[in-house]
Amino acid sequence: MTVTAFEAAIYAQRPSSAEHYDVSYFRDNWRAEGNDYSLETRRRMEGRNPELTKEVFQPKKVLDLGCGPGALMHLLAELGVDVDGIDFSESSRELASDLVRERIAIGTTYDQIKPDNSYDLVVCREVMEHLTVFQVKRTVQNMVRMTSRFLYCTTRFHPEPQSLLDYTTQFDVDPTHITLLNKDFLRLMFVLEGCRSRPDLESRLDWLGKGRVIVMEKHAPEL
């Protein structure tokens, strides 16, 4: 994609509203393979992720940005991890377990509702693809602002990008999948915010080998 085409495309994108992510979005049986957001389903789907997250990062305080109904938060809390969440959907809090409900703040991924450096791990999984490119940029900045050390992001990427700027949609999977970026493009955004790649940790987190994981470490907060 040329810069001119990229410019036209990102100005034409429209963000999804918080109301789209209602109880039906999280609970109805519309996803392939019937994967919903109940805690039982997510416990099965998460597999080793909660244990690995604790083991790899050994975090003191975690933020799950775009946490949805807080399944990962719940599974981490069961392991004794101190974890907060942010999501702009009121339904995410309604559907959350008693263990984590009060720890979910309502806000966007780019609202500055938490202090700088207040977590040593900021997680953002399966959210970037739902954002416009402008929102992705602001979210990356906010993630880096809030962490004192690690960033752990998963998203769906463009399967066959021809250039750094290529991004695509995936409406058959989810009508709000509007931004599947080139993986290098998303990584570059973190690098330009003062982060370095941690391929060693990335490969440990990507135990299913899906290539959807980015792990970064905040390197130069002064830049």
Instruction: Summarize as ranges the residues that interact with ligand SAM (CB under 6 A).
Output: 21, 66-68, 87-89, 92, 108-109, 125-127, 130-131, 135
Nearer to ligand SAM, 139 or 168 (CB): 139
- Nearest distance in Å: CB 219, ligand SAM: 25
Nearer to ligand SAM, 168 or 176 (CB): 176
- Nearest distance in Å: CB 130, ligand SAM: 4
- Nearest distance in Å: CB 184, ligand SAM: 22
8-state DSSP, 147: E
Nearer to ligand SAM, 1 or 10 (CB): 10
For helices 133-146 and 183-192, angle between their N-to-C axes, nearest 10 degrees: 40
Classify 78 as helix, strand or coil: helix
Alpha helices in 79-118, H assignment, sequence order: 90-95
As beta bridge partners, residue 121 has 62, 150
Nearer to ligand SAM, 162 or 171 (CB): 171
- Nearest distance in Å: CB 40, ligand SAM: 14
As beta bridge partners, residue 7 has none
Determine the residue with CB nearest ligand SAM: 68
Question: Are 158 and 167 contacting, i.e. CB atoms less than 8 angstroms apart?
Answer: yes
Question: Are 89 and 18 contacting, i.e. CB atoms less than 8 angstroms apart?
Answer: yes
